[in-house]
Amino acid sequence: MNSVAIVGLGWLGFPLAKHLQRVGWTVKGSKRTHEGTESMRLNGLEAYCVQLTPEVDADPDDLNELLSVDSLIINIPPSQYFFDTRSYVEGIKNLVNEALLHGVQHLLFISSTSVFPQKDSEYHEESAVEPESDVGHALYEIENWLLALNGVDCDILRLAGLIGIDRHPVSHLAGRQQIKGGNQAVNLVHQTDCILAMQLLLETRGYKRLYHLSAPQHPKRADYYKKMAQLLALDEPHFVTDETDLQRIVHGNKIVQELDFDYAYPDPYQMLPQAEQYFHQD
């Protein structure tokens, strides 16, 4: 039976763990607090308390159990480290080095399309990366370091803006006035597609791979968020549109072409946060 450890059992990691359990994987995971760890155990997951300080702070026996797996998914957003990006980078490297010492054969790092600048362009996996933020620089440093490792399979998955159960960016825009950039395209991906893509990467291991996850359709912000507010019975946001609005599109079709991945939510208009989903059913 294939085994995987998920470091970061949060909004994305927890439903991923439950799904992988359902399809036959042996799944372990970690949280940063003892309370969080106990909550995961009560939800049927083998969980351990691990903190990156940036040293790997965990009981040695627990760490040995956690990392006695075939694959390791690192799903820790930099924001959880209060944007102390240097500690974040060192923490991820320390965790990976521990995993390699324990014989982990496959690494999957969850990154972000924020490695690309806010500039007019269409971004593919082969596009030049020019981070503009500390977080973008940190993620790109980790990506390069991972892809240079020898003797281990490594996947990088860059996620666009996330939508799923109880999470939709329109909730932060509802009722706001004079929002700039109405003609900008949205770059979004649904939680379900993230989970299915990670399962696919686990099942089709390659040596070194880099993929984007971004829904194929990119409606304009003003049109999209107005419609989403209507569907969710929220106050409509008001956008200012201009012909000079940024045209930044992140493409996520490489994984479709190379691995026959099929987006469950190719159209952001289908991404409603209250929709019933398999990943949240017991």
Cβ within 8 Å of residue 178, ≥6 positions away:
238, 240
How far apart are the C-alpha atoms of 19 and 39, rounded to whole Å?
A: 17
How far apart are the C-alpha atoms of 36 and 197, rounded to whole Å?
A: 26
Q: Say what the pLDDT of residue 280 is.
A: 47
DSSP category for residue 220: B
The 3-state secondary structure of 7-70 reads: ECCCCCHHHHHHHHHHCCCEEEEEECCHHHHHHHHHCCCEEEECEECCCEECCHHHHHHHCCCC
Mean pLDDT of the chain: 93
Place of tokens 């969850």: 110
Q: Give the pLDDT band (50/70/90) at residue 10.
A: very high
Considering only 145-149, 222-226, 256-260, 270-274, which range has the smallest mean pLDDT?
270-274
Please work out, in degrees rounded to the nearest 5, the angle formed at the alpha carbon of residue 137 by the alpha carbons of 248 and 14: 85
Q: Say what the pLDDT of residue 81 is.
A: 58
What is the domain class of 3-167+189-217+249-280 according to CATH? alpha beta
How far apart are the C-alpha atoms of 134 and 86, rounded to whole Å?
A: 9
Q: Say what the pLDDT of residue 175 is.
A: 87
Does 14 have pLDDT greater than 50? yes
From residue 268, alpha-carbon distances to 32, 203, 225 in Å are 32, 27, 10
Residues comprising the chain, all counted: 282
How far apart are the C-alpha atoms of 99 and 76, rounded to whole Å?
A: 15
Give residue 30's identity as a one-letter amino acid code. S
Rounded to 5 degrees, φ, ψ at 190 are -90, 145
Report the pLDDT averaged over residues 54-83: 90
| Peptide bond preceding 54 in cis form (omega within 30 of 0) | yes
Task: Give 202-231 pLDDT, tens digit per residue.
Answer: 999 888 999 999 999 999 999 999 999 998
Please work out, in degrees rounded to the nearest 5, the angle formed at the alpha carbon of residue 19 by the alpha carbons of 14 and 25: 105
Cβ within 8 Å of residue 238, ≥6 positions away:
176, 177, 178, 179
Task: Give 41-56 pLDDT, tens digit per residue.
Answer: 999 999 999 999 999 9
**What percent of the chain stands above pLDDT 70?**
95
Supply the pTM of this predicted model: 0.94
Q: Say what the pLDDT of residue 82 is.
A: 55
Task: Give 103-118 pLDDT, tens digit per residue.
Answer: 999 999 999 999 999 9
As a dihedral over the C-alpha atoms of residue 135, residue 140, residue 142, residue 147, rounded to 10 degrees, the angle is: 160
Domain residue ranges in the chain: 3-167+189-217+249-280
DSSP category for residue 162: E
CB distance 183 to 245 below 8 Å: yes
